[in-house]
Structure 1
Amino acid sequence: HPTSTGYLFNLDYFEKVTNNPNAVTYTLATSITPAAAGTISANPAGTTVNQGTEVTLTANKNFGYKFTRWVDGNGVLVSTANPYIFTINANTTLVAEYETIETYTLTTNSQGAYGLGEFSIAPAGKDGAFSVYEKGTNVTITAIENDIVKFNNWSNGSTALSNAVTINNNTNVIGTFDNVSFIAGWTFKNDQYANPRVAELYSKVENRPQLFAYNVTDNVLAPNIRLLNRGGANGVGVWNTDRGQFFYFMTSFSTVGYKNITISSGLIGYYYGCDEWTFQYSLDGVNFQNISSLTTINTSSVTPIGGILPVEAEGKEKVYIRWFPNVNGTKHGSATDVTATVLSNVTVKADEIAVLDAIAPVLQSTIPATASTTVSASGDIILTYDEKVQLGAGQATLNGKNLTAEFVNKTVKFSYYGLEYNTQYTFNLPAGFVKDLSGNNAAALELTFKTIQKPIPAKRDFNLIVDANATAEQISSGKYVKTIAEAFNAAPSNSTSRFLVLITNGTYNLGGDGTNPQGIVLQLPSGKNNVSLIAQSKDKVILQGNPGWGIKNAVLSIEANDLYMENVTIEHKDGITTSGQRPALNPAGDRNVYNGVRLRSKQDTQVTGGNRSFYYKSTIEGDVDFICGGGTHWFEECKLVSVAAGYLVAPNHDANVQYGYIFNNNTITATTAYYLGRPWQNAPRAVYLNTKMINEPHTQGWASMGTVPALFAEYNSVDANGIKVNTDNRTNIFNVNGVPQTGNYNPVLTKEQADTYTIENVLSGTDKWNPLEIVEQIEAPANLAISNNTLNWEANQYAICYVICKDGKVVAIT
């Protein structure tokens, strides 16, 4: 104020409980012991509450503590439920009691590969870090590989990328890595605004290159460079404030002692920039020669760019390389935006020039060790020699099956998958299969080992039961909820332990009133991993929703990883009877399993995405494009039910998807004529293997839509009587904008081609995922008998628990 006059107000806050002056109210006092153990949430909030109000108290724990019970002001036990729900009819004092949990440290160490090996750890521990955990916490440590650094094994001998440990004492985990021969590489993980950017990966400290960004016009260092994530990859781009300018990237390094120098990288357009780039090298930093031709880059995915340096660039004290835009060519974006082309995935690999000798490489160690009896059913055989080795001649085998070798520095790795438990195997390597860089042959090897006994799971109960008719007492126990949404909310985020949910019989309305637009009705979001949704009875648990028309409006969306769903029916209420895009399920995520599920709608019943999903003995119903989208999805022994004229599939896979949709041992039934599918967009892939066609499709098999598929094919299709279907007229010609175009494939696979479609090849990945182990059915209880109102049986050691039902109702879980 101009006169410097001030005013002081004293404002008191009064809690308003009711407008009724005659209302009866009571006080609610809560506290915690020990005081640092946690917090209490109250609904409704406040310390003065109307008589007869239902109050919900939730005890929230801090790290290192566990809630045990509620007691009154005199220390008398009130309840062990959390949350605790009660009706207030008197002045109430409640104390949340906690007990301390022992905590331990977790340390991780990387060996080999110049110490460049890295890990990801989940979940986080104390204060969001990864070093201190509560006793009993299940932690998954995953080795991170890249184009240069490769993982070998853990200190416990496991070769799986992920290592699960339970923290019951101070724990030290060691991961051993190796590396391919290289000069440098950039991972672009930190130093947000650094220019130049020093290579995170390097084989010699004196040859650790720096990456610069310069202005094309005057070769002045770009002033504003930052980390950017585009196309799923970390990279670096110039974030210029002066619009309309263009920039290039450049680095230099020594090639002394190296040959066969290969540079790989990726570019992606972002905002404004040049469509065309070249990759170049120079021996003086002034005169540059093209290694690549003009490369048109994408704006939605990373475009590979790079090449092999010519021989004249080998053995030089300094070689320059740069990524240079064609400023006279076409542009993407608007010149009023920043010029932010992103460079990522930069690696410089090279072979070291060997000193020739006449000494053969000597085997130093093997994983597994000879005669080991604790070998996992899926993993790697790793041989480590005393010098760098390479592929020679011959074939490595495991019990007669050919294995493929991966050579990394001094190690040779052979991946195997899906071995039988408690079985002896013999690995054979002929002399000369491995040789050193001088050409000296390593000796032959025979390695015999035995796989582990089939693991017996720990006995446990369901974490949660969904029952639309759950009583107030059941809900207050914290063990029951009434809706699927509540179950999803209760599932922990980023958990490495499985969260088991039993859904009792009934139809559960997930929401939606059929209006448009509506959006997804219910979603299990990314991060809510390791959830199991298990129906009490097949076909008697129905998740129903009614979102409005539209391909993005699914009844249920799955974005989380490692979901297991069993015997659940998901249906779009209007979609069952009304044509139009009405998805029941939008399955995305990775490593998700749908066992015995039933999906019901007409058009776009299942709109797929994500990475890998596996469907086993499931039923998918629809008419038009009722399995559509992207991702890698394997359907095993499923029923595809066409309820009206249309198309079974309409994929739109990205070009980098290798397999797409695979239907193996499926049965197709139809009410009228149908097509196996049509290509939606991008690079669709769909393969039908060993299909029983109760009703056969149109003779050409496939119809046109928006593009030419990367592959639409089948193998060994038979009719209802097991007689081979005539596939002579199957087409690979598709009309695109009225112009016939021919796909570069045969729509009928050979046996050799069909044999490449295995679960190992398609789904296993670097994490050796085997969904067949997940859907394996254990034997039914033996010697089931009732005596004196007691039910007895011989338990199967592989069952984690049993659910006992009477007259369709769950009466016990044991």
Structure 2
Amino acid sequence: MAYSTFGPVLLINAVLSVLLCQVPAALAAEQGGTTEKEFKAWLDYIRTTESQPHFKEFAHKVKQPSTTIVVDLKGTGNFTSIQKAIDSVPFANANPVYIIVKPGVYWEKLQIPATKDFITLQGHGRLKTFVVWNDTAASVNSTYLSASIAVDAQYFAAMNISFQNAVPAPAPGVEGQQGVALRISGDNAVFYGCAFIGHQGTLYDQQGKHYFRDCYIEGSIDFIFGDGRSLYQGCEIHVVPVAGSITAQSRSSATSDSGFVFLNCTISGTGVVYLGRAWGRYSRVVFLYTYMESIIRPEGWQNWGDPTRESTVYYGQYMCYGPGAGTDGRTPWSHALTDEEAKPFLTLDFIQGQSWVPLVIPGLRL
């Protein structure tokens, strides 16, 4: 998929963005705080409450009747707003809810709270159904609050839909211009055939186990970032100016199981980028069987300005190809993986996905 495919939508965004009003400040309180530290503490707390369903309950509940809700801007469905459809899902939901979103550009900021698990958001194709907003870290005083869609629920799925943060490319040296298209903080989430479009900080893979399959991810600076434990399979990663780094994984300890794995992906675009920067001291990112255009810097990886991280990060490649995939010029502290070293990253086992991915999207060919 070429970047130019999204040109008409970007033009619409530029024209209509002036009409958008800011999200109320009360949103921060609903999400558990105004700082990321407060938010993570709140998220950990809410997940320990007895009202939250456990995995075994979900495995049983999927056999129960599901609910289908249709969203259509033209008024032929149950709602004209995706958020209103989400709001209609019962508190402490424990049954599958399918929200079918008809074609259109939905200018709204979406929040799926931790009390509404088992929601599937399904569009009519990522070139036909768009969710768009334009907050920045500066406009809402927080990167994680800038997301066009924020998902705190467990067992969430999105299919055939695009999520975009319409903030323009940041000027060199300007701070606070991170504009997140998706923040995913819930566990056991699947994204299939989706697109994530932005510039700096497009996809905030904050925490939890996630599976991205056949998705398109576009950005420029640290545009796949966070502390998630995620497998990206068959995805196209497209770099746009001003290019900086594809990933900024934030694993903070040697015992953490988080990390980003890119399997059978494609890296395309313009500019010159690092494969990743060491946002976390134990940052972990691996690319396997991935095609890389010549936009990759020869050294591949960057230590975030802290040489001490070079001995603790885990960065690797395995069987990658293309003009940007050569390992001869890579930093000496990255790895050209052996067959044995690559094994833990080649299947859904990395995210324990065999047990939950088929339940989140039944019928998905793994």
TM-score by length of 1: 0.35
Q: State how far apart, in whole Å, the 1-side matches of 2:259 and 2:226 are.
A: 9
Instruction: Give the counterpart letter for 2:122 in structure 1.
Output: I
1:189-204 matches, cutoff 5 A: none
Aligned residue among 246, 263, 281 for 1:648: 246
Quick check: 1:753 aligned with 2:358?
A: no
Instruction: Give the counterpart letter for 1:547 in structure 2.
Output: D
Aligned residue among 762, 771, 774 for 2:361: 774
Bigger proportion of residues as strand? 1
3-state SS of the aligned residue for 1:487? helix
Residue of structure 1 equivalent to 2:281: 682
Q: State how far apart, in whole Å, the 2-side matches of 1:678 and 1:121 are.
A: 36
Quick check: 1:547 aligned with 2:135?
A: yes
Pair 526,123 (structure 1): closer, same or farther in 2 beyond 3 Å: closer
Aligned residue among 706, 710, 713 for 2:316: 713
- What displacement does 1:761 show? 3.1
Pair 764,647 (structure 1): closer, same or farther in 2 beyond 3 Å: same
**2:271/2:295 contact within 8 Å kept:** no
Instruction: Give the counterpart letter for 1:616 in structure 2.
Output: R
Q: State how far apart, in whole Å, the 2-side matches of 1:681 and 1:165 are.
A: 38
Instruction: Give the fraction of aligned pairs with identical amino acids, expressed as a percent.
Output: 25
- What displacement does 1:703 show? 1.9
- What displacement does 1:772 show? 9.3
1:295-694 matches, cutoff 5 A: 463-470=68-75, 480-510=78-108, 521-550=109-138, 551-552=143-144, 553-575=146-168, 577-579=169-171, 580-644=177-241, 645-655=243-253, 656-694=255-293
1:55-454 matches, cutoff 5 A: 164-165=59-60
Q: Provide structure 2 residue ranges, at least 5 long, that are not aligned to the other structure.
A: 1-47, 172-176
Instruction: Give the counterpart letter for 1:501 in structure 2.
Output: I
Pair 601,623 (structure 1): closer, same or farther in 2 beyond 3 Å: same
**1:595/1:775 contact within 8 Å kept:** no
Pair 611,163 (structure 1): closer, same or farther in 2 beyond 3 Å: closer
Pair 561,165 (structure 1): closer, same or farther in 2 beyond 3 Å: closer
- What displacement does 1:657 show? 2.2
- What displacement does 1:683 show? 1.8
Q: State how far apart, in whole Å, the 2-side matches of 1:458 and 1:604 are.
A: 38
- What displacement does 1:609 show? 1.2
- What displacement does 1:768 show? 2.6
- Cα deviation digits, residues 359-414 of structure 1 (max 9, x gap): xxxxxxxxxxxxxxxxxxxxxxxxxxxxxxxxxxxxxxxxxxxxxxxxxxxxxxxx
- The count of corresponding residues between Structure 1 and Structure 2 is 302
Instruction: Give the counterpart letter for 2:331 in structure 1.
Output: T
- What displacement does 1:620 show? 0.5
Residue of structure 2 equivalent to 1:697: 296
- What displacement does 1:696 show? 4.6
Q: State how far apart, in whole Å, the 1-side matches of 2:238 and 2:232 are.
A: 13
- What displacement does 1:562 show? 0.4
- Cα deviation digits, residues 405-437 of structure 1 (max 9, x gap): xxxxxxxxxxxxxxxxxxxxxxxxxxxxxxxxx
- Cα deviation digits, residues 746-766 of structure 1 (max 9, x gap): 42111110012143431117x
Q: Provide structure 1 residue ranges, at least 5 long, that are not aligned to the other structure.
A: 1-119, 125-139, 143-160, 167-456, 475-479, 511-520, 733-742, 779-814
3-state SS of the aligned residue for 1:752? helix
Q: State how far apart, in whole Å, the 2-side matches of 1:489 and 1:163 are.
A: 21
Pair 776,463 (structure 1): closer, same or farther in 2 beyond 3 Å: closer
**1:652/1:680 contact within 8 Å kept:** yes
Q: State how far apart, in whole Å, the 1-side matches of 2:82 and 2:357 are.
A: 28
**1:122/1:494 contact within 8 Å kept:** no
**1:763/1:769 contact within 8 Å kept:** no
Residue of structure 2 equivalent to 1:39: none
Pair 560,459 (structure 1): closer, same or farther in 2 beyond 3 Å: closer
- What displacement does 1:691 show? 0.6
Pair 524,121 (structure 1): closer, same or farther in 2 beyond 3 Å: closer
**2:231/2:348 contact within 8 Å kept:** no
Q: State how far apart, in whole Å, the 2-side matches of 1:757 and 1:772 are.
A: 21
Q: State how far apart, in whole Å, the 1-side matches of 2:193 and 2:238 are.
A: 14
**2:190/2:357 contact within 8 Å kept:** no
Q: State how far apart, in whole Å, the 1-side matches of 2:117 and 2:58 are.
A: 17
- What displacement does 1:614 show? 0.6
- What displacement does 1:535 show? 0.4
- What displacement does 1:141 show? 6.8
3-state SS of the aligned residue for 2:92? coil
Residue of structure 2 equivalent to 1:379: none
Bigger proportion of residues as helix? 2
- Cα deviation digits, residues 228-268 of structure 1 (max 9, x gap): xxxxxxxxxxxxxxxxxxxxxxxxxxxxxxxxxxxxxxxxx
**1:675/1:697 contact within 8 Å kept:** yes
Pair 700,463 (structure 1): closer, same or farther in 2 beyond 3 Å: same
Instruction: Give the counterpart letter for 1:768 in structure 2.
Output: S
Residue of structure 2 equivalent to 1:796: none
Pair 490,625 (structure 1): closer, same or farther in 2 beyond 3 Å: same
Instruction: Give the counterpart letter for 2:75 in structure 1.
Output: A
Larger of the two Rg values belongs to structure: 1
- What displacement does 1:533 show? 0.3
- What displacement does 1:681 show? 2.8
**1:763/1:770 contact within 8 Å kept:** no
Residue of structure 2 equivalent to 1:726: 326
3-state SS of the aligned residue for 1:627? strand
TM-score by length of 2: 0.74
Instruction: Give the counterpart letter for 1:545 in structure 2.
Output: W
Pair 163,584 (structure 1): closer, same or farther in 2 beyond 3 Å: closer
- What displacement does 1:463 show? 2.0
- What displacement does 1:705 show? 1.0
Instruction: Give the counterpart letter for 1:671 in structure 2.
Output: T
